[in-house]
Chain A
Amino acid sequence: MSSWNYVVTAHKPTNVTHSCVGYFTNPQELNLIIAKCTRIEIHLLTTSGLQPMLDVPIYGRIATLELFRPPGESQDVLFISFERYKFCVLQWDAETSSLITRAMGDVSDRIGRPTDNGQIGIVDPDCRLIGLHLYDGLFKVIPIDNKGQLKEAFNIRLEELQVLDIKFLYGCAKPTIAVLYQDNKDARHVKTYEVQLKEKDFGEGPWLQNNLDNGAGLLIPVPLPLGGCIIIGEQTIVYYNGSVFKAIPIRPSITKAYGRVDSDGSRYLLSDHIGMLYLLVISHDNERVSALNVELLGETSAASTLSYLDNGVVFVGSSYGDSQLIRLNQQQDAKGFYVDVLESFVNLGPIVDLCVVDLERQGQGQVVTCSGAFKDGSLRIVRNGIGINEQATAELQGIKGMWSLRASSSDVFDTFLVVSFISETRILAMNADDELEEIEIDGFDSEAQTLFCHNAVHDQLVQVTADSLRLIDAKTRRQLTEWRAPAPISINVATANASQVLLATGGGNLVYIEIGQGTLVEAAHTKLEHEISCLDINPVGDNPEHSNLVAVGMWTDISVRIFSLPSLTLITKEMLGGEIIPRSVLFCSFDGIAYLLCALGDGHLFNFMLNPSTGELSDRKKISLGTQPIALRTFRSKNATHVFAASDRPTVIYSSNKKLLYSNVNLKEVNHMCPFNSASFPDSLAIGKDGELTIGTIDDIQKLHIRTIPLGEHPRRITHQEQSRSFAICSAKYSSTGSNGEDMESHFIRLIEDQTFEITAGFPLDPYENGCSIISCSFTDDTNVYYCVGTAYALPEESEPSKGRILVFLVEEGKLQLVAEKEVKGAVYNLNAFNGKLLAGINQKIALYKWTLRDDGTRELQYESSHHGHILALYVQSRGDFIVVGDLMKSISLLIYKPEEGAIEERARDYNANWMTAIEILDDDTYLGAENSFNLFTVRKNNDAATDEERGRLEVVGEYHLGEFVNRFRHGSLVMRLPDSEASQIPTVIFGTVNGVIGVIASLPQEQYLFLQKLQQALVKVIKGVGGLSHEQWRSFNNERKTVDARNFLDGDLIESFLDLSRNKMEEIATPLDISVEELCKRVEELTRLH
């Protein structure tokens, strides 16, 4: 049963829809605020760049975003309106660094036609009112009083029904709007109105301007001293203020975004639909506008929003490509442009299609998405976990330990790599040719296994073997002194930092030795009741060379103990419970917070918060990283400390937002790891695997890794073929042809090698022919595996395609060979391999084709049967003889193929009028659908129903508002599936959305679902939505026909935010659920492993 589903975001939305700049967090410092549809990010402008301050989810889809300054205040507040007709005003709380809701409300009207051109939300520059245009023919006013409080909203009837833009004008005695609209004859005009707050009506405005450019689409109000308005058209730009009229022709372009450069409004940035960036300059003498000028600055991603920050730096927010931070230069570059890209922010949106593959064949899925649109189109390879880029590999059997050493304390880079084996120690060093070469260090005991070695103070090295502790001069490489364990006991475990050494010798003896210049002084000694299994003396205090604390892991009583130095007095003893001994302990500090990590022999990890001065432990958490013993090591990458946990499932532990995160590394079993930061391979790691030593660099530390393959054209469909190790995509190339600027479209099938992602072959489609679907499949009685492509001829005079093709390709030597083609009457929206045949959704019908052999030995597709009666059979999935169809507007229906009769018949359908955007089969009886009002739902086949009528109905079992437009579901998982972990038993579906979200839907067992449902209910009470928006309302299934509470779906993002809560709040939630905080954390952390 897949009726209980858990929905969680694996990759947050990246589509930047809005942005604005203002003094939000502080009266002196400028902020950039970015909206990504369902998230808000607040950044601070610093001299070194953008510094993130807050990134929060919001329970609504943001429709408009504006900053404004209430009268008498020194900071801006943020006005947001949402697509479901809610609004809120947010204010920054400096004390808690969070958002306070200053006002909120509902501005919906039950009757009214929602605007076609999107919602408009604007704030009067003199802060007298907020204006909203949500429904055709209505202008909603929220008055603001002189204390900055919002008053009750009212509607004013707006004569213009086809509004394109509305803006407030500057410098008007009464609040005045300019309305750009289209009349019944498609001509465009601008009209102004005064808003009369008392009369709740419009008064006549100061001016109007008729018969503008046919493509006029954007109004830019110009601040004082000039006032008036700029009207951006497709061929002209006009300035008008009632008396002065200036117009200039421009190169044909559709302007999508603008950003004001100067506060006096004399310069503006404009970005058009293909990402060309222009500067519009208004020449004036502070009273009268004398001229307009437009200059091309350069090319960026196609912008959806432009925000001028400071000093020529501009934020370019994009929906179709990566968002960018750019600098405008005074000087032209070689291409004649003035734009430098300082930073790019990855944007996966819009994810039009995706496929899940396991390219490395490691049992871990990777998602390859068709991302971006038009010229910003690309493929993105999204992978969970951190990749190691191997630089060198050597075969080395039986590695027991590895350490890197610097040649001298003053060196920045490591020179030596000490590799320890069962009865010897070998030292590798970088030579002049950047090769690792074995060398000898005289002072080292190379005839014994090294237990530990480290750079010590005074330019010395320490080496610990089972017999002795040696101190070696780094310059002369000679042994200075030696400390030997009193015979017959030997050293079992050792650790050291720059000035201290800690040794555990047999019988539970713990010896503390301080390193002096050429001396080793045994400063303390204590005997414990059990054997010691692991030690750590990493400094976590202020002094990086000296620690006041040591951590000791014990055999027998399974505890971890903290002792203080130099006296070796026991401070804390933490019983770990269970029977598995701790194998590695480690002090570390992330984001200024000290932790103690303790790893067990069975792959579990405890983490504690550590008080570095008292040595007290708190906030105990336990999670499972793997199944084998874990060895913990710290390393630095990109100026941050991370911990590497080597085991059968190597993991990097790092911290973000003061929360520990675990990211697996894309390597199979790792036994040992040490950082090896050499001059020629900076920031590398030496990794000891079974019989192998690898030197490699590590990717950025983050959960999901994204590789971009820019295509320069727009990929629409993708599929992978295992046999030919290739991807095939349908793509569209847009090119503007010369003078008239008309965009030409040409369509291709491309073959891409799956390792290098190089395009190896292309197949141009006919003029007007679009690629609509692509699969890799094989047929009955044929051993070959083919790519099948479905196309449609989009002839300009047809509203619905009447002709398409099914093309069958064979990959031969990296080329596409067209083997067969079949003309059909309509667009082939989808293709499915179906019992050795080919199932195609063509306009209103589903048709089945068989692969037959002609007399001449060639093959052809032959029609077998079909099923009619859909509006558009857009999405089809099959399982066995069952076919599930997602219709354009008639929800989901279930068909069955009857092989004996060769017929396809309808078995059942969902009678709701859902406009589908994607479907997937969860199991034999349960089907998942996404519809175009951003909802998910599941339907179930009614096998046991008493009557035929009931059996003919697909019962809706789950409903949920995702808030995202899903373009594709695929079975699969982004994470490595460990055979024994609970999570691996849970089937998952991955989805991709317009906003660039990659999400996971996991079908949970009922017991777990019910438990999490209780947890979610408890969390809703504790975690309040930003802007006072309700979680329950947000997640309720909502479209223009109905609104019902969410059921049988859980909000994984909310549930996993449990882990971010403070201990107190966690307890508040855990207690009524009758479960310990620790156990609850474990169960939630287990869920985070699903993505």
Chain B
Amino acid sequence: MAMTRAAMRKRMVVVEREDESEESSEEEEEAEFEDDDYEDEEKEEKEEVEEEEEEEEEEKVEEKRRKQKGRITISLKGKKFCKVCKATDHQAGFVGYVYMDCPNKPCYLCKKPGHTTLTCPHRTATEHGVVAAPRRRSLGLLDFVHERQLRSNLPTVQLPQLIPNKVDSAIIRLHSRRVTDMEFHPTNDNILISGDKRGQIGIWDFENVFNKTVHEDIHAALVNSIKFHPWQEGMMYTASSDGKVCFTDLESGTSTDILDLNPDGWAGPSSWRSIHGMNLNNRRELALAADNFGYLYQLDTRANKKVEKPMLVHKKGSKVVGLHCHPVDCDIFLTCGNDHKTRIWDMRMLAPDSCLAQLDHPRVVTSAYFSPITGNKIMTTCLDNRIRVWDNICADLSEPSREIVHSHNFNRYITSFRAEWDPKDRSECLAVIGRYISDHFDGALLHPIDFLDVSNGRLVEEVYDKSITTICTVNKLHPRLDCMATGSSRSLFIWRPKDVVVDALEDEDATTEAKEVKKITLQIYEADGGKAGRAKGKSMDNDDDDFAFLKKKAMAKANGAGPSCSKKEKTKRKSKSEDDDSSDDTEPSPEKGKAVVTPPSEGRQLRRRSK
């Protein structure tokens, strides 16, 4: 991948006011926290659509309102009042990322009365109250190998789950805005594609961390979905909030718009269409995309043009957030939307109100996926802080098989959380999702990434790295390798299992030469040289320090060899405004976080099941 980023660097402005609006909203993001959640929900009941947009940080539509609101909030800063019940005699709600319970309102996490967030039983045990799926008999590996020699129709074995729990490589601030979606290259194992809020698409080889490209002029707003063409190598479809679906060559970045929903440009939020969900139906050679007004579009991937008429799949005017095709029978697909619904459709009988099934949720559904191998399960993420799982799509779908309470409702401008399946797990039990609420780990307040066993709600492992203080919203498990990519703020991280690394290094009586070969190096690359943040002043210089720990580790391991850490490629930004957005959803340093939390007792330190 050529490092032509600097040369290509220029800012694509599609809408005149875009720049301005973005900046202002960024400011807000830093300065204020959105009103607390309950209020949100109450409002929501009245004017659903509008409120949903807010939660979903729909920048263009919302911009004016935000500006005003922003001012008000800023003026209130420092005043003591409860964000939950609005009383002034106490302070509660989110302070930073730490939630302080309001004595008048119940638990923030599960919203159930009778306890506070601190004492919420779901906080200490994610499996609390979960009806576990029937246990399938599962053999140990050795028994499986021997037993299947006798009985050929053995149910498959439960393979040991390797949790990628250790940062293996990272690229710091590859993007100029927060990462919104990621996708692994379908054939090239170590290539990660990422899209950001500004519409840029980053390509990164995580085996050679300094090998990266950023295509900047493909989209003008959030890249919401990236999918690879089924057989044209290196060609991908990207869908964006600018209302376009683009067909892009990965290598050159040349792209053609195959769908543009806003041909006449910006004419106010009521007419601006953006695309969120997109997926490919490879049997019919179609790309399906859905917009923020509830319409579904079909694109022929052979001719790369729109076919059929747009069809209403969700409540008119409500945003369709996600779209996923069934892995086995791709004529079946799921949509989820701001109208609190998830719907299952069949391409063969596609008509408004003809969905096969509708899964009702109490709040906005931020993602809905079929399980990756058989497609027999459905997992949805809903803003009511619950992950819902249906175990068998043939069975009665009126109630989910189980609800797992998990903190992923958010009140700031971050990419929404989506619980994703492990595509390699044949039992289709393992899911990964970032956690919003922070916890203390080794004295630091961090947002771990949770691995859940969705068959019983058990927290398999919470993964964190001390140096990653930002919220890890976008997490993708590799379809073939034992690794995970995380997009947090503007940076990308690759995790690998700790055990494998250790195992590869030890070999009881390995000869010294052999040992050297197997040394695994931690690779970090700082895409913007760490300069951008510093310019802003003291308050922001933690931006660099965030990753100091990682860098130190890399230094130690790689022994300073290679360009991975010593050679900092300086790609200075030209626009001064960029300095401002450097800390898009990064958090104040751990120390700061702690300082804010001071009063709450040490009991906040949760006892979680150790891995």
Q: Is the CB of B395 within 8 A of A161?
A: yes
A871 with B159: CB separation less than 8 A: yes
Asked if B101 CB lies within 8 Å of chain A CBs, one says: no
Minimum distance in angstroms from A966 CB to a CB of chain B: 10
Q: How far is the CA of A864 from the CA of B150 in the complex (A)?
A: 35
Complex interface: chain B residues within 8 A of A161 (CB): 134, 391-392, 395
Chain B residues contacting A373 (CB-CB under 8 Å) are: 150
Report how far A346 CA is from B374 CA in the complex, Å. 39
**B350 interface residue per 8 A CB criterion:** no
Interface members, chain A 341-375 (any B CB < 8 Å): 350, 352, 373
CB-defined contacts of B152 to chain A, threshold 8 Å: 932, 934, 965, 994-995
Cβ A862 vs Cβ B509 within 8 A: yes
**Chain B hits for A31, CB < 8 A:** none
What is the bound-complex CA distance between A116 and B136, given in angstroms? 8
Residue pair B140, A799 in contact (C-beta under 8 Å): yes
Asked whether, in the complex, the Cβ of A184 is within 8 Å of the Cβ of B392, the reply is no
Complex Cα gap A155–B158 (Å) = 30
Per DSSP, chain A at the interface is: loop
Q: Are B394 and A138 in contact (CB under 8 A)?
A: yes
The reply to whether A903 and B517 contact each other, CB–CB distance below 8 Å, is: yes
A864 to B149, Cβ gap below 8 A?
no
* Stretch in A106-114, A443-451, A1045-1053 with 4+ CB within 8 Å of B: A106-114
Interface residues in A662-682 (C-beta closer than 8 Å to B): none
Q: Would A157 and B511 be within 8 Å (CB), given that A350-B149, A799-B140, A903-B517 are in contact?
A: no
CB distance from A291 to the nearest CB of B (A): 34
Contacts A113-B374, A113-B392: A184 and B148 contacting too (C-beta < 8 A)? Answer: no
Query: Using Cβ atoms and an 8 Å threshold, which residues of chain A touch B373?
Result: 1040
Once A799-B140, A902-B514 are accepted as A-B contacts, the answer to whether A184 and B374 lie under 8 Å apart by CB is no
Which residues of chain A in 914-938 are interfacial with respect to chain B, using CB atoms and an 8 Å cutoff? 915, 917, 932, 934
**Distance between Cα atoms of A840 and B439 in the complex (Å):** 45
Closest residue on chain A to residue B517 by CB atoms: A903
Q: Which residues of B contact A298 (CB under 8 A)?
A: none
Residues in B neighbouring A864, C-beta threshold 8 A: 511, 514
- Chain A's closest residue to B330 (CB) is A110
A866-B507 in contact (CB<8A): yes
Task: Answer whether residue B308 sits at the interface, using C-beta atoms and an 8 A cutoff.
Answer: no
Given contacts A112-B376, A116-B136, whether A800 and B508 have CB atoms under 8 Å apart is no
Q: What is the CA–CA distance of A294 and B375 in the complex, to the nearest angstrom?
A: 46
Residue contact A794 to B394, C-beta cutoff 8 Å: no
- Please give, as numbers and ranges, the residues of chain B lying within 8 Å of A721 by CB-CB distance: none
B442, CB-defined interface residue at 8 Å: no
Chain B hits for A862, CB < 8 A: 509
Tell me whether B510 and A863 are in contact (CB under 8 A).
yes
Taking the nearest CB of chain A, how far is it from the CB of B161, in angstroms? 10
Q: Tell me whether B135 is interfacial, beta carbon within 8 Å.
A: yes
0 or 1 for each of A705-719: is its CB under 8 Å from B? (1 = yes): 000000000001000
Q: How far is the CA of A269 from the CA of B518 in the complex (A)?
A: 61
Give the chain B neighbours of A868 by CB distance below 8 A.
500, 503-504, 518
Contact check, A794 vs B140: say whether CB atoms are below 8 A apart. Answer: yes
Q: How far is the CB of A749 from chain B (nearest CB, A)?
A: 16
B153 at the interface (CB under 8 A from A): yes
CA distance A162 to B329 in the complex (A): 23
What residue in chain A is nearest B513 (Cβ atoms)? Answer: A902
By a CB distance below 8 angstroms, the chain A residues around B394 are 109, 111-113, 135-138, 155, 157
Candidates A118, A794, A872; contact of B153 at CB < 8 Å: A118
A199 interface residue, CB < 8 Å from B? no
Chain B residues in 8 Å Cβ range of A183? 134
Mask of B351-389 contacts with A, CB within 8 angstroms, 1/0? 000000000000000000000011110000000000000
> Could you tell me how many residues of chain B have their Cβ less than 8 Å away from some Cβ of chain A?
51
Q: B263 in the interface, Cβ–Cβ < 8 Å?
A: no
Q: How many interface residues does A have (CB within 8 Å)?
A: 64
Interface of B is mostly: loop
Task: Decide if A137 touches B141 in the complex (CB within 8 Å).
Answer: no
Q: Indicate if the CB atoms of B160 and A186 lie closer than 8 Å.
A: no
Cβ of B328 within 8 Å of any chain A Cβ, yes or no, is: yes
A residues 89-132 with Cβ under 8 Å of B? 109-113, 116, 118
Q: Which of B150, B326, B391 contacts A111 (CB 8 A)?
A: B326
Nearest A residue (CB) for B518: A868
Interface centre among B131, B150, B373, B513 (most CB of A within 10 A): B150
The verdict on B133 contacting chain A, using a C-beta distance below 8 Å, is: yes
Interfacial chain A residues near B507, Cβ < 8 Å: 847, 863, 866
B54 to chain A, nearest CB (A): 37
Give complex CA distance A319, B509 in Å. 45
- How many whole Å from A687's CB to the nearest CB in chain B? 41
B595 at the interface (CB under 8 A from A): no
Contacts of B392 in A (CB 8 A): 113, 136-137, 161
- From B151, B153, B508, A825 is in contact (CB under 8 Å) with B508
Residues of A within 8 A of B510 (CB): 863, 866
Asked if residues B328 and A110 are in contact (CB atoms below 8 Å), the reply is yes
Q: How far is the CA of A825 from the CA of B505 in the complex (A)?
A: 13
Knowing A186-B135, A863-B508, A994-B151 are in contact, say whether A157-B142 is a contact too (CB < 8 A).
no
A902-B511 in contact (CB<8A): yes
**Is there an interface contact between A798 and B140, defined as CB atoms closer than 8 Å?**
yes
- Taking CB atoms and an 8 Å cut-off, the chain A residues in 870-897 that contact chain B are 871-872, 874, 888-889
Q: For chain B residues 126-176, which have a beta carbon within 8 Å of chain A? A: 131-137, 140-143, 145-146, 148-153, 155-156, 158-160
User: In angstroms, how far is the closest chain B Cβ from the Cβ of A17?
Assistant: 10
Residue of B whose beta carbon sits closest to that of A967: B149
Q: Which single residue of chain A is at the shortest CB-CB distance from B481?
A: A869
Report the minimal beta-carbon distance from B315 to chain A, rounded to whole angstroms. Answer: 26
Given contacts A186-B134, A794-B140, A874-B145, contact A111 B375 (CB under 8 A): yes
Which residue of B has the minimal Cβ distance to A374?
A: B150
How far is the CB of A999 from the nearest CB of chain B, in Å?
Answer: 15
CA–CA, A137 to B133, complex, Å? 14
Rounded to whole Å, the gap between the CB of B359 and the closest CB of chain A is 16
CB distance from A39 to the nearest CB of B (A): 16
Task: Kindly state whether residue A827 has any CB partner on chain B within 8 Å.
Answer: yes
Residues of A within 8 A of B153 (CB): 83, 118
Min CB–CB distance A890 → chain B (angstroms): 9
Bound CA–CA A83/B153 (angstroms): 10
Q: Does A258 contact B (CB under 8 A)?
A: no
Looking at B155, B158, B159, B395, which has the most chain A CB atoms within 10 Å of its CB? B395
| A111 and B149 contacting across the interface, CB-CB below 8 Å | no
A615 at the interface (CB under 8 A from B): no
- The 8 A CB mask of B474-515 against A (1 = contact, 0 = none) is 000000000000000000000000001001100111110110
Q: With A and B bound together, what is the CA distance between A415 and B363 in angstroms?
A: 101
For the complex formed, measure the closest distance between the CB of A599 and the CB atoms of chain B, giving whole angstroms: 45
Q: How many angstroms between the C-alpha atoms of A716 and B150 in the bound complex?
A: 10
Alpha-carbon separation in the docked complex, A801 to B160 (Å)? 11
Q: Of residues 818 to 839 in A, which have CB atoms within 8 Å of B's CB atoms?
A: 825, 827, 829
Specify the chain A residue showing the minimal Cβ separation from B154: A932
B140 touches A111 (CB 8 A): no
CA distance A965 to B150 in the complex (A): 9
- Kindly state whether residue B85 has any CB partner on chain A within 8 Å: no
What per-residue 1/0 map shows which CB atoms of A794-827 lie under 8 Å from chain B?
A: 1000111100000000000000000000000101
Q: Using Cβ atoms and an 8 Å threshold, which residues of chain B touch A159? A: 395-396
15 contacts between A and B (CB under 8 A): A111-B329, A111-B393, A113-B374, A137-B392, A770-B146, A794-B143, A799-B141, A800-B142, A847-B507, A866-B507, A868-B500, A917-B148, A994-B151, A994-B152, A1040-B374
Chain A: residues with CB nearer than 8 A to chain B? 83, 109-113, 116, 118, 135-138, 155, 157, 159, 161-162, 182-184, 186, 319-320, 350, 352, 373, 716, 770, 772, 792, 794, 798-801, 825, 827, 829, 844, 847, 862-866, 868, 871-872, 874, 888-889, 901-903, 911, 915, 917, 932, 934, 965, 967, 994-995, 1040
For the complex of A and B, the 3 pairs showing the least CB-CB separation, nearest first, are A965-B152, A110-B329, A137-B395
Given contacts A157-B394, A184-B133, 14 further A-B contacts (CB under 8 A): A109-B394, A110-B329, A136-B395, A137-B394, A162-B134, A186-B134, A186-B135, A800-B160, A888-B159, A902-B514, A903-B514, A917-B148, A932-B148, A994-B150
